[in-house]
């Protein structure tokens, strides 16, 4: 076998395939095993095995088998069951096979036997296959992130399309240069793959930086809620201690007023004590910092607004849910309920909050009294605020969170009562 320009380009393309498979693995598998060395060796094994068998035999059936075996060995360095490994490897190879078939057809290589030695030697086709597969991984990753609730900006979608397309256009231009030397041909191909690898690295760096910023914002929000919860509890404790200290004096004064027949003044004194007690209620004591902090923070002013609150919150200290998602879910529902209650007569303001965790399900019901007309369009609740372009996203955002966790939400309004029921599935982490 003469080792010519085509074989060098094939090796470069096969090396680039390692990065493509790495992206596939990251799409299909949640996490990698801790042993980084074994992970790197598995990718090296793929490169060596597929290259050698291609040069020695170049029989499509053998190439298919070697690809599946080595890709399965790479999958062993990731966390998953055997069944999932097999399914995911087949999926990956199918995506790769589709790209190869399309490219082969475009370059005129249609009739071949899977049992006979191949004679395909189109350098452009070898490069194009890898670039097309690379584009597939970018789009699949964006789809996965979108499905998981991540907001993928248009610039990322554009980059996922333009980088592979631009590479193919450049390769067409290079392939049409008939006077290229061996060094120039290999060098140009190396640069094309290098540009894509660098773009791949920058793409991941931007995504990782975005995740870090998001996590930092969530941590700050969590700390803020925890701090609010501590402040509320500390304030309530101090007020209760002061109240107990002063209680004996209050009772003496009340007794004196009653003995002198000053019933009206005694009643005012009792009203002041009742208002004081109601203003220092802690509404959620489940032990879950996020829920307790959010509920208690949102309901700080309900006593002054004469809102009667009933709560039943029974959840574990930790829930398998993204903090931002839960803040969006519960925060919007509470904000909507409190906003609606402001329009109700003070004597009829009632808010009921029920959140329980059972059998890997978070079940919630938020109920509030309301007055006026509920505006709907295509089964969607519309905002009643004047600046409609700035409002009305609350329930829409809640629906997105519910859908993300494969949950269910039902809205009902009748007899002056607005009710939102939701169920989201939160399986325990492995």
Q: Does an H or E element contain 421, and which? A: strand 417-425
156-198 residue pLDDT tens: 778 778 888 888 888 778 777 767 777 877 888 888 888 888 8
Q: How many CB atoms lie within 10 A of CB 100?
A: 22
Whether residue 428 is predicted with pLDDT greater than 70 in this model: the reply is no
Percentage of residues in the chain having pLDDT higher than 90? 19
CA distance 132 to 95: 10
Inter-residue contact 369 to 307 (CB < 8 Å)? no
76-99 residue pLDDT tens: 998 888 998 999 999 998 988 888
Question: Which CA distances in Å does 155 have to 161, 249, 272, 314?
Answer: 10, 69, 60, 43
Residue 71 phi/psi, 5-degree rounding, is: -70, -35
CA distance 117 to 59: 5
Q: Which residue has the tokens 């931007």?
A: 206
Q: Which two tokens stand for residue 387?
A: 């600046």
CA torsion sign for 245, 247, 250, 256 is negative
Inter-residue contact 25 to 75 (CB < 8 Å)? yes
Percentage of residues in the chain having pLDDT higher than 70? 76
CA distance 49 to 73: 12
Inter-residue contact 80 to 29 (CB < 8 Å)? yes
CA distance 41 to 219: 37
Strand partners, 32: 78
Whether residue 255 is predicted with pLDDT greater than 80 in this model: the reply is no
Q: Write down the pLDDT at residue 267.
A: 78
Q: Write down the pLDDT at residue 114.
A: 62
The Cα angle at residue 206 between residues 205 and 208, in degrees rounded to 5: 65
Find the farthest-apart pair of alpha carbons in the chain and give their distance in angstroms, rounded: 118
In order of their start, the domains of the chain are 5-216 (no CATH), 283-430 (3.30.565.10)
DSSP string, 29-55: -S-B-S-HHHHHHHHHHHHHHHHHHHH
Confidence of residue 151 (pLDDT cuts 50, 70, 90): low
Q: Dihedral angle at the C-alpha atoms of 405, 146, 419, 312, nearest 10 degrees?
A: 40
309-367 residue pLDDT tens: 999 999 998 888 887 788 888 888 998 899 989 989 988 999 999 999 998 899 999 99
Q: For residues 214 and 266, which has the higher predicted lDDT (pLDDT)?
A: 266
Helix/strand/coil for 59: coil
Q: Which residue has the tokens 């939701």?
A: 422
Q: Which residues contact 380 (CB under 8 A, 6 or more apart)?
A: 395, 396
Q: How many CB atoms lie within 10 A of CB 386?
A: 7
Q: Which two tokens stand for residue 364?
A: 């919630």
Q: Write down the pLDDT at residue 390.
A: 35
305: Cα separation from own chain's centroid:
37
Q: For residues 227 and 105, which has the higher predicted lDDT (pLDDT)?
A: 105
54-80 residue pLDDT tens: 888 888 888 889 999 999 999 999 888
Q: Write down the pLDDT at residue 399.
A: 87
Burial 293-319 (b: 16+ CB within 10 A, else e): bbbbbbbeebbeeebebebebebeeeb
Q: Which residues contact 356 (CB under 8 A, 6 or more apart)?
A: 312, 313, 314, 315, 362, 363, 364
Whether residue 387 is predicted with pLDDT greater than 50 in this model: the reply is no
Helix/strand/coil for 309: strand
Residue 390 phi/psi, 5-degree rounding, is: -100, -5
């Amino acid at each position: 076998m003469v080792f010519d320009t085509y074989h060098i380009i094939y090796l470069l393309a096969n090396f680039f395939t390692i990065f493509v498979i790495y992206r596939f693995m990251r799409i299909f598998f949640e996490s990698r095993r801790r042993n980084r060395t074994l992970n790197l060796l598995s990718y090296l094994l793929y490169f060596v095995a597929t290259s050698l068998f291609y040069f020695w035999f170049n029989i499509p059936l053998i190439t298919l088998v070697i690809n599946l075996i080595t890709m399965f060995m790479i999958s062993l360095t990731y966390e998953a069951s055997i069944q999932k490994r097999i399914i995911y490897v087949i999926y990956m190879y199918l995506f790769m096979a589709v790209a190869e078939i399309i490219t082969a057809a475009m370059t005129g290589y249609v009739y071949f036997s899977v049992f006979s030695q191949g004679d395909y030697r189109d350098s452009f086709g070898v490069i194009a296959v890898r670039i097309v597969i690379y584009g597939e991984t970018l789009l699949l990753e964006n789809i996965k992130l979108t499905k998981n609730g991540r907001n993928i900006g248009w610039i990322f979608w554009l980059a996922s399309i333009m980088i592979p397309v631009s590479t193919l256009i450049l390769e067409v231009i290079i392939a049409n240069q008939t006077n290229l030397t061996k060094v120039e041909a290999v060098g140009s191909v190396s640069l094309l793959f290098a540009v894509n690898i660098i773009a791949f690295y920058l793409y991941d760096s931007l995504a990782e930086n975005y995740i870090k910023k998001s996590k930092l914002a969530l941590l700050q929000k969590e700390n803020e809620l925890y701090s609010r919860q501590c402040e509320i509890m500390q304030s309530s404790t101090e007020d209760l201690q002061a109240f107990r200290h002063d209680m004996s004096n209050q009772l003496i004064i009340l007794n004196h007023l009653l003995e002198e027949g000053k019933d009206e003044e005694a009643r005012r004194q009792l009203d002041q004590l009742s208002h004081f007690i109601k203003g220092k209620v802690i509404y959620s004591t489940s032990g879950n910092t996020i829920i307790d902090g959010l509920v208690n923070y949102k309901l700080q002013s309900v006593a002054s607004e004469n809102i009667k609150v009933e709560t039943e919150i029974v959840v574990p200290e930790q829930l398998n849910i993204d903090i931002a998602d839960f803040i969006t879910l519960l925060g919007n529902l509470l904000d909507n309920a409190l906003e609606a209650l402001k329009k109700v007569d003070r004597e009829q303001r009632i808010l009921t909050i029920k959140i329980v965790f059972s059998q890997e399900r978070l079940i919630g019901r938020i109920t509030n009294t309301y007055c006026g007309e509920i505006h709907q369009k295509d089964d969607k609740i519309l905002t009643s605020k004047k600046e409609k372009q700035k409002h009305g996203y609350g329930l829409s955002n809640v629906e997105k969170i519910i859908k993300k966790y494969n949950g269910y939400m039902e809205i009902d309004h009748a007899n002056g009562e607005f009710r939102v029921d939701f169920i989201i599935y939160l399986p325990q982490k492995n």
